[in-house]
Structure 1
Amino acid sequence: MTTEKREKASSIARVLEIIEAISRAERPPTPLELSIMLDIPKPSIHRLLQQLERDGFVQTNLRGNLIPAKRLHDLALGVMHTAQFKSMRQAILQKLADEIGETCGISLPNGINMIYYDRVQTNWPLQINLPIGSHTPIWCTASGKLYLSSMPKRRRQRLINNLSLERQARNTITDPIELERTLNEVAENECGIDNEEFIDGMVAISVPIRNEQGQLHACLFTHAPVFRRSLDEMLHFKPQLQRAARELEALMKEG
């Protein structure tokens, strides 16, 4: 292998190490922290980061720390959508939906929204139709509140204070203090709830899907119209959701 090819291979490996480190970090790292963590000289890491920013894979936040950008989010979603994972994921969701008798799905955090990433519907004639790709608010949905509850308290409070907390349904929590109190309960129970807070007439619960570091990676949810299931009835399905979440976690590790 020529010197030029060796240098190119080395640069590619470093880029992948940088992407991996940023995507797995508990908090957004600085370029200096990445340089030390990955043992990459400062001039090299600044050059590689500039290229990744230009190409839309990473970006800097207001503090100058590094976070994933749109192309990196799209890459992660694309990997999860591959046939290898999709068939098993759908089988797990289908089994859960058959047990519960209601629509079940997976949502992913994306800024101040959750994205409906995948779902399996039941065959009831009346459905609450939230198609794959839908964006839902984090402050009034079961998965969104679960995601908020997983954040460090100080960061969560800053975010809540800057959210509009617009009323979406009859029971939407619009008071930041009340929302914070609810999120503490969600964190303690490891189960998000939506008691007609996003859509009038709909209740939902959600449990975490965690990565190998124990961080919330996605949320597994089920929702139903209130004329068919009360919130208390939905909460009885929490053990089934938790079991399915562990199966999805194991599937991620296999990948």
Structure 2
Amino acid sequence: MNDEPTEDTGGETADALFNQSLEKGIAVLRSFSAQRRTMSLPELAEAAGITKSSAQRMIYTLEKLGYVRKHPRTKRYQLTPRVMQIGYNYLAADTVIDVANPFLSELTNVAGETCNLTEPDGDEMLYVARFVCMKFVPIHMPIGSRIPMYCTASGRAYLSALPVDEARAIIDASERIAHTQYTETDPGKLEAILEKARRNGYATNREELFLGDMTIAAPVLDGERRPVAAVHVVAPTSRWTLAEAEQRLAPAVIECARSISNSIRTLG
């Protein structure tokens, strides 16, 4: 017997190959977060957008597989470290990360600041590699962290390497929130920022996502000249002005991204 239909189909036509039970199981895993570290069964159902009966079957299966555990006293569920295996498998299989690591290490040595590699996922950039310097950085962004494209240097670098219409579509579809008093959310002004990034070969962000945080980024391109990632260096406002960061760090960031791009093209 087929599982009941997904509660929110969004009006899409049913796909005979689409496994709704798998979709629900993934929805349950994704419902956990820093704000929802533990959840009861009703909370799980609400967070995942499924019925309580579906949530019960999904969480039971995930518990048997070792991806979640239930506290014996509170009966609340939480993720287990086994979930990390799925994400680690991606990191281990991603050739872009393998290619980028030595160049990122060199960039960290040259810049004297923390350097990162991010990859796109929807309208966000995902941290997939990070080389930390010994100096203080205002914001800790571990592997797996997500940041919006529209207001970050790495996101803007990625968008600047896309065709203009594709970049515009992503900006228009983004939930453009003013994270700080410096966040730019106007689509027209963001397009002007992207155009400047196209001319310069790098993008910037000065305290638009976090106060005290400033970054310089450049896109990584594949053999088809399509962006697949972005390199960025962290230049805290406590140590750098934007003008100094652009003058001293941007050339190194561009060269790092170019070296990674060239190496990717030689692979395939």
The residue aligned with 1:226 is 237
The residue aligned with 1:246 is 258
Check 1:162–1:115 CA distance in 2 against 1; reply closer, same or farther (3 A cut).
Answer: same
The residue aligned with 1:165 is 176
Q: How many Å separate the matches in 1 of 2:121 and 2:185?
A: 21
Q: How many Å separate the matches in 1 of 2:110 and 2:192?
A: 32
Q: How many Å separate the matches in 1 of 2:102 and 2:92?
A: 19
Q: How many Å separate the matches in 2 of 1:78 and 1:54?
A: 27
Deviates more, 1:114-123 or 1:240-249: 240-249
Check 1:119–1:213 CA distance in 2 against 1; reply closer, same or farther (3 A cut).
Answer: same
Residues 1:79 and 2:90 aligned together: no
Deviations 1:62-118 (A, max 9, x none): xxxxxxxxxxx9986542269xx63x6333212111110110111101101000110
Q: How many Å separate the matches in 2 of 1:74 and 1:184?
A: 35
Residues 1:102 and 2:113 aligned together: yes
For structure 1, list consecutive stretches of 5 or more residues without a partner in the other structure. Answer: 1-48, 57-72
For structure 2, list consecutive stretches of 5 or more residues without a partner in the other structure. Answer: 1-14, 23-86
2:145 counterpart letter in structure 1: S
The residue aligned with 1:141 is 152
Q: How many Å separate the matches in 2 of 1:250 and 1:146?
A: 17
Q: Is the 8 A contact 2:119 2:125 kept in 1?
A: yes
Q: How many Å separate the matches in 2 of 1:140 and 1:179?
A: 8
User: How far is 1:165 from its partner?
Assistant: 0.9
| Structure 2 counterparts to residues 18-97 of structure 1, below 5 A | 77-80=91-94, 86=98, 89-97=100-108
Q: How many Å separate the matches in 1 of 2:251 and 2:92?
A: 29
Q: How many Å separate the matches in 1 of 2:188 and 2:258?
A: 32
User: How far is 1:54 from its partner?
Assistant: 6.0
Q: Is the 8 A contact 2:107 2:256 kept in 1?
A: yes
Q: How many Å separate the matches in 1 of 2:206 and 2:167?
A: 21
Check 1:178–1:76 CA distance in 2 against 1; reply closer, same or farther (3 A cut).
Answer: same
User: How far is 1:128 from its partner?
Assistant: 2.6
Q: TM-score, normalised by structure 2?
A: 0.62
What SS does the corresponding residue of 2:192 show, helix, strand or coil?
helix
Between the two proteins, what is the percent identity of the paired residues? 27
Relative to total residues, which structure has the larger helix share, 1 or 2? 1
User: How far is 1:250 from its partner?
Assistant: 3.6
Q: Is the 8 A contact 2:202 2:254 kept in 1?
A: no
